Structure 1
């Protein structure tokens, strides 16, 4: 029995050591093969341009760029270009909320009507935390109005009217359903607490302190250096333009754009305590367990799941002209970044192609 126990212990140690050393930076030959697979996926799906990167220790370990950032002007994708990141935006609002919690300005168990008094009566009793972890039961305005809502100038009253046109999906805390409305309302609460627009909150609390100078809300009217254009295809499969996301239609539910270098800085900041305390990160990354025992593998603005046996905190993003993926492999101190400038394609597929080359043994 002692021998078996010793063998089991050695195997466990070996497995742990392997899991913590799964990342392997590809050589030039493997990078070229990875490029070939990614380009084929892009070609098969009429994706104009893309960028993939791996961050380690706060710096970019490598970046690969493909195709066109702007088709009409024939501009190649550059590693410094900025892409819309869709729902990856949610994690930044969650982090800002946790900073407010640390300062005693916000309580996640507060009822949302404390901050937003003029809500539909069906929504009364929902907590701030339930907005962030998708257990509020409040219908998703994007699902009702489609992704085209992100191209329109909207007021909070407009968003609330759209979402309240459908009955709640379930009583607060009794189910799980992805709701952009929840994160829109959460953004409004974060705004109210700090007394400034969500863009200014994120800039002052996160982007400026971390040196994330290229991360901001998309804003179609703003002049943004290196902004990639977004695209879709029409019914004939022809590439068409998609205008940039309107900040007012998303707030922190999905309105940010960023660069690979900025996402590397964000990843690195989440390992230390300079931005968020360990307790705040623990709360943010605590998985959601429903009353029936189901584990939804979702925290506050983050997906929490194993990827090829590796622990991750991650999220995908999609808006009218872009998809993105950001996955942090915790035990590796490695993050994978995928930006593609076409709507309704799979950033996860490109991420999986990358994993075949950067974590071949996983």
Structure 2
């Protein structure tokens, strides 16, 4: 228990020594806040590329800071003309647009979304249960992660892109029954934007410019994949560099431009000033004409999803929640070189908005929160429960060749420590048990958010559920992945041996077939970001080659070598990629 208290205290002190963990409303003394912020900035100056942030109180912007550089090497300072990518904060434009249409009676949030889509558009549906717009907002429509690439630098693809084309091209399988699992989905959010297109008969970017950007004076923000809807933004973004700053490793990505075809889910780009106007418009009580009726903004923050075993709001019409002294509502976003976030305490009308040209930046995007919002109580109670194990994010791929990424990406190992309430995670992070169902994930850079226990095998993080792997599934998957690699190496050596020995052609050809099967499967696993046509051809070739191990067994049974153990070992190795092919194509283990 002593160790637990030290960890909690350290996390709080790192963020702000004088934070009050009990008060529901942390009153600002602006002078003291400025001193704390200057200290905060000074401590991080050597680990910061470029960042802009704003703090709001009583709905008004009271502090803005522009720090660092848009081009570190040439010392180009971050200023009011710097542009940043919103990343997934762009999704808030979808949800606000949906509430605008709800307000006008054009969109029923609880209606089956197929009412607003072309007939049979959702060819990926597996379950008969209807999907509602609320399900899209809550990321509970049941879609797996997209397999095919949704970002490109190909100008021809961008020129011919429409949201409908991008959705059809990247359409993922539905693997969960609606409302049963929370699994963050860029595709599901973009589908919501396509519904808005169908209702309004205009492309989503045009709708947003007309009904959001122009209404609140956001004149320096673009939304299309190549930002061609605002030439000034496009030209300015082409001069902006992005970076990766982790510990002592600093990497300059250059302009690092990648265009998002599912653009409503993450392509918004613009000045921090515009971003702050949008933040201000979302604070209750501010009349910036975002909605015709102020009550619609109140509706926006009404809960649409709760955590399973506690009376805590998880999502409100697409706005996620975090727990500090009060519940705060908002969204974070990441692209290949930028990080942004906005979070609002609707009760006290406070907000923090941050934009950075760093990949995966958290020190400002989350570290500022306790200064503004305070910290929720970290007093521990309840029965100690062992949550150690290896978890996978339910934002994953269960159906198709991309299933391998379930086992190599999005994994969360949770390790026991000497203290039964503390667990270690990779990346110098920890999970602390607070009560029977509440855990807090913390890191030294200020990242702090709750995780809730759904049942013995499922944890609920705010954007996705995590399920503990069965050891059997993990063992089989690991065996098949490693076994396929071993098969490739073994049969490469065997082909060389047979060629030198000048063995009979049939054995040589079968060995080449097995080699090609393992190679084709490995290539398929490692190239999910390849063009869809190439992947489909690769998948068909791999499937056809899958018959080779069967032919090899049949050949061995008729040969004089059928009693040799070494030959059956070779057959066993040859069968591994065949089994892996079947295993990776299945829905569930």
Q: Which residue of 1 aligns with 2:240?
A: 229
Q: Deviations over 1:30-78 (max 9, x none)?
A: 3321211232442xxxxx3111221335543122222211346542111
Q: Deviations over 1:3-45 (max 9, x none)?
A: xxxxxxxxxxxx9x94234334344543321211232442xxx
Q: Distance in 2 between matches of 1:158 and 1:267?
A: 29
- Residue 144 of structure 2 aligns to a residue whose secondary structure is coil
Partner of 2:357 in structure 1? 341
Deviation of residue 325 (structure 1)? 1.4
In structure 2, the CA distance between the partners of 1:54 and 1:237, relative to structure 1 (3 Å rule), is closer
Equivalenced residues, count:
333
Q: Once the 2 structures are TM-superposed, how far is the Cα of residue 242 of structure 1 from its aligned partner?
A: 4.8
Offset of residue 111 of structure 1: 2.1
Alignment match of 1:259 (pick from 271, 286, 291): 271
Asked if the contact 2:138/2:305 (under 8 Å) is kept, the reply is no
Contact 1:126–1:136 (CA<8 Å) still a contact in 2?
A: yes
Tell me the secondary structure at the aligned position of residue 67 of structure 1. Answer: strand
Question: In the superposition, relative to structure 1, how do residues 359 and 299 fare at CA in structure 2: closer, same or farther (>3 Å)?
Answer: closer
TM-score, normalisation: structure 1: 0.79
Do the aligned residues in 1 keep the contact of 2:124 with 2:174 (CA within 8 Å)? Answer: no
> Does the 8 Å contact 1:20/1:332 carry over to 2?
yes
TM-score after normalising by structure 2: 0.51
Q: How has the CA–CA distance of structure 1 residues 159 and 35 changed in structure 2, closer, same or farther, with 3 Å as cutoff?
A: same
Superposed displacement of residue 181, structure 1: 0.6
SS state at 1:105 partner = coil
Which deviates further from its counterpart, 113-122 or 218-227?
218-227
SS of 2:264 mapped into structure 1 = helix
Secondary structure of the corresponding residue to residue 331 of structure 1: coil
Counterpart for residue 131 of structure 1: 136
Deviations for 1:198-226, whole angstroms, at most 9, x for unmatched residues? 11111111111111222321625533265
Q: Distance in 1 between matches of 2:28 and 2:252?
A: 36
Match of 1:140 in 2: 145
CA distance in 2, matches of 1:233, 1:330: 33
* 85-94 vs 214-223, which moves further: 214-223
1:126 positional shift: 1.7
Which residue number corresponds to residue 83 of structure 1?
84
Q: Could you say which residue in structure 2 is the equivalent of 1:120?
A: 123
Larger radius of gyration: 2
Structure-1 separation of matches of 2:136 and 2:143:
8
Structure 1 segment 153-192 matched on structure 2, within 5 A: 153=158, 155=162, 156-164=164-172, 167-192=173-198
What SS does structure 1 have at the residue aligned with 2:30? coil
For residue 245 of structure 1, report the CA deviation from its aligned partner: 4.6
**Structure 2 unaligned blocks of 5 or more:** 1-19, 377-589
User: The residue matched to 1:122 in structure 2 has which SS?
Assistant: coil
Q: Which runs of 5+ in 1 are unaligned?
A: 1-14, 43-47
Distance 2:80 2:259 in 1: 24
Instruction: Summarize deviations over 1:294-347 as a string: whole Å, max 9, x none.
Output: 76611222112322x22211110011221111111223322111111122x233
Q: How does 1:10-89 map to 2 (within 5 A)?
A: 18-27=23-32, 28-42=34-48, 48-57=49-58, 59-71=60-72, 74-89=75-90
RMSD: 3.2
Which digits, 9 at most, give the CA deviation of each residue in 1:81-125, with x for residues without a partner?
221111111112111111111111111122222222222151673
User: Could you tell which deviates more after superposition, 106-115 or 23-32?
Assistant: 23-32
Match of 1:250 in 2: 262
